[in-house]
Amino acid sequence: VTPVDRKLSLSWLGLVALTLMSFAAAEGLVSHRLALGGIFAIAAIKGQMVASRFMEVGHALPHWRALYRVWIVAVAILLAAGHLI
Amino acid sequence: VYGDPNYGAHYIAAIEALTPDDLRQAAAACFEPQRANIALLLPTGTELPDSATVLAWSQPEQRHSPRHMPQATSPIPVIDLPGGSKLIVQTDRKAPLVSIRTVLDGGQRTAPQGKAGLVRRRLILALVCGALFSASKLTEYSGKFAAGITPVTNSFYSFYFLLTFIHFLHVLAGMVFIAHCLSRAGAEAGHPGYPTKLENTGLFWHFVDLLWLFLFPLLYLAGLK
């Protein structure tokens, strides 16, 4: 097991934990508006993890990193806004 | 480090291929006696040589005589360092500088070499995950149809079926790419094109994954309450 493998395995566990958290939020542990904001925020964090770790965007040039980050945040905000407004 | 990474190899081959005749030809083409500018650096107080002597120095037969040719130097030493790098030592008498060029084999391009077994195991794991996802989608769709829910039930289900099905088709396409990489893992291991194939398949697979990260809360979580 290389350090890269360990890092990716930890990222995967993190993704599973975040998914369970978004499930808990959606199942009514918090208020509706908070839950909606929470699940799309969690989706953005997961998206950022997949892009930077599994798609190696973390090693890419700064403008690629920025492009992915902007895209992920913009999609999450759009989806959340679509539900909240 | 810049320029052609194989510069060292070409440079030495080119230098070693040179013959004294090549140098004479180049000198005859470049250094015409009538264009010569002669500068003399002499200690203070030295008596200046007359112009005839100086001109005689520039005569072709003088310049091309063997005793004016630089002595043949020993071959350029190439030292193999323990890490696999090559150290090429060149003497440049014009500048008191040492220039070092290093070329390292690294990154994805060399990683799968000799690791066909590891690559194969991981591709199989990815295929199993893809198959599990596909099975969950098919179960989900059949459950919906059994309950009388179809794409025309309402606008939510129209979007639900459309988005998840298009995503599902991309998962299947990704599995085809992974299966192709798996079938070529033995034959193409160490081949320069294979890591590119793996990289592209991985990028496609994870981008499809990235899309699911947004489809999942949109279609499965936000509507739960």
Tell me how far apart the terminal alpha carbons of chain B are, to the nearest angstrom: 59
How far apart are the C-alpha atoms of B182 and B176, rounded to whole Å?
Answer: 10
Task: Dig out the tokens for B167 from the structure.
Answer: 């995503």
Look at residue B91 in the predicted model and tell me its pLDDT: 66
**Nearest C-alpha in B relative to A77:** B214
Q: What is the ipTM of this complex?
A: 0.89
Q: pLDDT of B21-32, one tens digit each?
A: 998 888 888 877
Lowest mean pLDDT among A51-55, A60-64, B184-188, B215-219: B184-188
The DSSP result for B169-215, as a single string, is HHHHHHHHHHHHHHHHTTTTTT-THHHHHHHHHHHHHHHHHHHHHHH
User: Do the Cβ atoms of B218 and A54 come within 8 Å?
Assistant: no
Query: Residues B193-218, buried b or exposed e (16+ Cβ, 10 A)?
Result: ebbebbeebbebbbbbbbbbbbbbbb
| Contact of B198 with B181, CB cutoff 8 Å | yes
Q: How far apart are alpha carbons B213 and B38 in whole angstroms?
A: 76
Mean pLDDT for the stretch of residues A10-23:
92
A46 touches chain B (CB under 8 A): yes
Q: Which residues of chain B have pLDDT under 50?
A: 64-71, 105-107, 109-110, 112, 225
Position B223 scores a pLDDT of 67
List of chain A residues whose C-beta atoms are within 8 Å of the C-beta of residue B121: none
Q: Determine contact, residues B199/B207, Cβ cutoff 8 Å.
A: no
Classify B40 as helix, strand or coil.
coil
Q: Is A36 on the interface with B (CB under 8 A)?
A: yes
Helices A3-24 and A32-49, axial angle in degrees (round to 10): 170
B13: which 2 tokens? 């081959």
Tokens matching residue B220: 């499965």
Identify the sign of the CA torsion B144, B145, B147, B153: positive
Q: What is the CA radius of gyration of chain B?
A: 35
What does the pLDDT look like over B60-96, one tens digit per residue? 555 544 444 444 555 677 888 877 777 777 666 655 5
Residue A45: closest C-alpha in chain B:
B213
Residue B150 structure tokens: 């179809």
Residues in chain B within 8 Å Cβ distance of A79: 214, 217-218, 222
pLDDT at B144: 93
pLDDT of residue B95: 58
Report the pLDDT averaged over residues A16-24: 91
Quick one: pLDDT at residue B225?
45
Residue B143, classed as helix, strand or coil, is: helix
* Angstrom distances, CA of residue B194 to CA of B43, B184, B188, B198: 66, 8, 6, 6
Q: How many CA atoms lie within 13 A of B221 on its CB side?
A: 32
For B108, which residue in chain A has the nearest alpha carbon? A56
Chain A CB within 8 Å of residue B218 CB: yes
Residues on chain A touching B209 (C-beta within 8 angstroms): 50, 54
Question: In the predicted model, what is the mean pLDDT of chain A?
Answer: 89
The whole-number pLDDT of residue B69 equals 45
- B14 in A contact zone (CB under 8 Å): no
Q: How far is CA B92 from CA A57, B12, B19, B99, in A?
A: 42, 14, 19, 9
Tell me whether residues B213 and A39 touch, CB distance under 8 A.
no
**Looking at the partner chain, which of B202, B210, B217 has a beta carbon nearest the beta carbon of A39?**
B217
CB-based contact B213 A27, cutoff 8 Å: no
- CA B91 to chain A, closest CA, distance in angstroms equals 37
Q: How confident is the model at residue B93, as a pLDDT?
A: 62
- CB distance A32–B225 less than 8 Å? yes
Assess A42–B contact: CB distance below 8 Å, yes or no. Answer: yes
